[in-house]
Amino acid sequence: MVIPQKNVATDVLTIGLEDYFQVGAFDRLIPRRRWDRFESRLERNTRCTLALLEPYEIRATFFVLGWIAERMPELVRDIAQRGHEIANRGYDHRCVRGMSRGAFREDLQRSHEALERASGTRVLGYRVGRQPFTSREFWALEILAQEGYVYDSSVVPRYWAGCGLARQRHVGYHRLGAQVLWEFPFATWHGLGWPLPIAGGNYFRQLPHTLVKRAVAAWHRRYDAPFVMYFHVWELDAQQPRIAGASRLSRLRHYRNLDKMTWVLKDYFQHYRFGSIADYLGLDRRLAGGAEDAGHQAPAPARPVRLGSPGAALGDVPAGVPVSVVVPCFNEAPVLPYLARTLQQVEAALAPAYTLRFLFVDDGSTDATWSCLQALFGDRANCEVLRHEVNLGIAAGIMTGLRHATTDIVASIDCDCSYDPGDLQKLLPLLTDGVAMVTASPYHPQGDVMNVPLWRLALSKAASRLYRGVLRQKLYTYTSCFRVYRREAVQDMALQQAGFLGIVEMLGHLDQRGETLVECPVRLESRVLGQSKMKVAVTALAHLNLLARLLAHRLLSAYTRMMQS
C-alpha cells in the first residue's frame, strides 16, 4: 500500500485545467460538439497559473480533460515537465451520474491514454468532471481501482448523501476487495453541525475572504490531515467572454469576483506549504521504459484551414456549386472568433459539393466589429468585407450582401450562429429548379428549439401563426434570417422595412408574386455570445403594421382578380 511522505508539503493544491466554456454551469447551453468553435483562452490562463505558482515553488496536481490533451499536447507536456502532476478529469467533462459502468470505464480509458501520451508521465489520480460523487456513484471507485488508479478526489463531504465515504472529511483510503484506493476529499469546515466547503474555487470567490481564511486556519489548528485546495485556470481570467443565455444563478456562480481570485490565492500561498497529491503519496510518475524522456507525445491534430487561406489551394478538390454566404453583423465583436471557427467547419463539411464565398456586412457597428472582421477575414481570397456607415438593419445588411453576390445561389446566416450554419447542408439541396427560397423552420413539427426564453418563443410563434393566416403559402416559420435564395428572385427587391421586419417582408413579396417557397426543419438555439439587438416591443408593433399591409395587398389583389373576371 502507498504510504504518504512526511517530508513533503503539508497541504495539497489541485487545479482544474478547463476552458471557460467547458464548465458544468453552461452544459445546457453549449453542447460538447460545439467546443471547437470557441476561442480558446486555456493556454493564456494556464501560463498565468504557472507564473502564479512559480515564485512559491509550488508543484500542484492538474486535473486535465482528455479532450484538451488531444488538442493541446504541448501545453500538457510543458506542465508535466515543470514538475506538476497530470491527473485525469475524464474525457469531456461528463457527469458520472447516469453513466453505465461500461461507459464510465470507456471514458476513463480514453482520457487516460490521451493524458499519458501527451504528458509522458503516469496518470494515477482521478477527479470527476462535474457533480461530485455521492454514495450512488461509489461503484465508480471500484472501476478506478481495477484500472490501476492510486487515488480519487471526487468527494465533497456531506451528511445528507448517505454514509461512509460521503461523510469522509480527511484524506484516507478504502479497501475495495484486494485493492486500495486513496481518497482526497475537498476540505470542509464543520460549522453549525454541517460540513461547509472551504476548499477554494467558487467558495473563495463568493464568501468573504476573512471568514474563509479563519476557517482554513482553524482546519490547520485542529487536524494533521492535509488541506485539499482547488481552483480552475479560468478563474484567473476576469476578461473571459460572457456566455449569453446563462441563468442568473449560473452567471453569479461563474463570473462573480473573478478579479478577486489571484490575490486570495497569493495570500494562501504565502502562509501555507502546498504540493501535489502524487508528491504527498510519494508516487513514481515515470512511464515504464522511460517514455517521458523519449519525447512520447501525441502530435497535434490537424487544424481546419482558415477560410480561403493559402493552404486551401485551388484545384486540390473539384470545384463545387458556387454559393455566396451573406453574414450581416452589428456590434458582434465577441461572436466573430466563434463564427470564424464555425465557418471553417462548414466550409470543410460542404466541400467538394459546394464552393463557398463569404460576404460580411458590418451594419454600422459602434464596437470593434469592423476591425475584427478585417483581421479575421479581410485578407482571405474567398471573403469580402462590406460596411454600412450607419446602422440600417439586418434586412438591409442581407440585401447589401445579395447585391454584391456574383453567384446564382445566395445564403444568409445569423452572425450569432443561433441557427447552426452547418445546416446549410440541409437547406441547399432543397433549392431545386423552380424554388425561389428555402427558409429554416424551427417551428416545423420536425424542427426544434433549445434554450430560447419562453416569452420570446411565444411571441415569435404567434407572429408566424398570424402570417400563416395572411399569406398564400402556409409555412410554420416566417421570421427566420437563415435562408437560401435564388439571387435573381430577390436582388432587386425594394423593402420598406430594413430591420427584422424586412426578413418577413422579403418572404411576403415572394409569396405575393406566386414564387415557390420551401421550409427546412432545423434547430434554433439561444445565442451563446454577445447580446440580441432586437427591440421586442417595437418589433411586435411593426409586425402588426406589416401584417396589415400584407393583408390589404392580398385583399386588393383578390378584388382586382374578381373584377377582371
Strands 321-329, 409-412: pairing kind:
parallel
- If we measure between CA atoms, which residue out of 393, 413, 396 comes closest to residue 535? 393
Strand partners, 102: none
Please report, for residues 235, 408, 457, the alpha-carbon distance to residue 539 in angstroms, rounded to integers and kept in the order given: 39, 31, 14
C-alpha 385: how far from its chain's center? Answer: 26
Band (160; pLDDT cuts 50, 70, 90) = very low
Q: Give the pLDDT confidence of 245-255 residue by residue, as tens digits.
A: 788 888 898 99
Instruction: Give CA–CA dist 166/156, Å, rounded.
Output: 7
What is the enclosing helix (H) or strand (E) of 55? none
Q: Give the pLDDT confidence of 2-21 residue by residue, as tens digits.
A: 767 655 558 999 999 999 99
What is the enclosing helix (H) or strand (E) of 438? strand 435-441
CA angle 246, 451, 40 (to 5 degrees): 50
Cell of 341: 471557427
Cell of 535: 427591440
Residue in the structure block whose three cell numbers are 509550488: 58
Residue 331 has pLDDT above 60, yes or no: yes
Instruction: Give the pLDDT of residue 294.
Output: 40
CA angle 164, 167, 173 (to 5 degrees): 60
- 159 vs 484: which has the higher pLDDT: 484
Q: Give the pLDDT confidence of 499-558 residue by residue, as tens digits.
A: 888 888 899 899 989 999 999 999 999 888 876 655 555 556 565 566 666 666 665 666
Q: Where are the domains of the chain?
A: 11-281, 321-558
- 526 vs 406: which has the higher pLDDT: 406
The burial class, CB within 10 Å (0-12 / 13-18 / 19+), for 218 is middle
Spell out the SS3 assignment of 122-172: CCCEECCCECCECHHHCHHHHHHHHCCCCEECCECCCHHHCCHHHHCCCCE
What is the enclosing helix (H) or strand (E) of 321? strand 321-329
What is the enclosing helix (H) or strand (E) of 229? strand 228-232
Cell of 281: 503519496
Residue in the structure block whose three cell numbers are 471514458: 107
* Dihedral sign, Cα of residue 51, residue 53, residue 59, residue 64: negative
Which amino acid would we find at residue 139? W
Tell me the average pLDDT across 211-238: 93
List CB contacts of 431: < 8 A, sequence separation 6 or more. 409, 437, 438, 484, 485, 486, 518
Instruction: Give the pLDDT of residue 500.
Output: 84
- If we measure between CA atoms, which residue out of 227, 238, 228, 226 comes closest to residue 263? 238
Tell me the average pLDDT across 55-84: 97
Instruction: Give the pLDDT of residue 556.
Output: 61
Instruction: Give CA–CA dist 413/422, Å, rounded.
Output: 10
List CB contacts of 324: < 8 A, sequence separation 6 or more. 356, 357, 358, 359, 401, 405, 406, 407, 409, 410, 411, 487
Band (310; pLDDT cuts 50, 70, 90) = very low
> Is CATH 3.20.20.370 the classification given to domain 11-281?
yes
Band (69; pLDDT cuts 50, 70, 90) = very high
For residues 384 and 406, the answer to whether their CB atoms sit within 8 Å is no
How many other C-beta atoms are found inside a 10 Å radius of the C-beta of residue 101? Answer: 11
How many other C-beta atoms are found inside a 10 Å radius of the C-beta of residue 289? Answer: 9
Please report, for residues 27, 238, 462, the alpha-carbon distance to residue 453 in angstroms, rounded to integers and kept in the order given: 17, 27, 14
For residues 9 and 85, the answer to whether their CB atoms sit within 8 Å is no
CA angle 228, 134, 95 (to 5 degrees): 90
Strand partners, 328: 361
Strand partners, 62: 15, 86
Cell of 65: 480533460
Instruction: Give CA–CA dist 375/369, Å, rounded.
Output: 10
> Is CATH 3.90.550.10 the classification given to domain 321-558?
yes
Strands 125-126, 61-64: pairing kind:
unpaired
Residue environment code for 360-392, b if the CB has 16+ CB neighbours within 10 A, otherwise e: bbbbbbeeebbebbeebbeebebbbbbbbeebb
Instruction: Give CA–CA dist 360/280, Å, rounded.
Output: 55
Backbone phi, then psi, for 86, in 5-degree steps? -105, 120
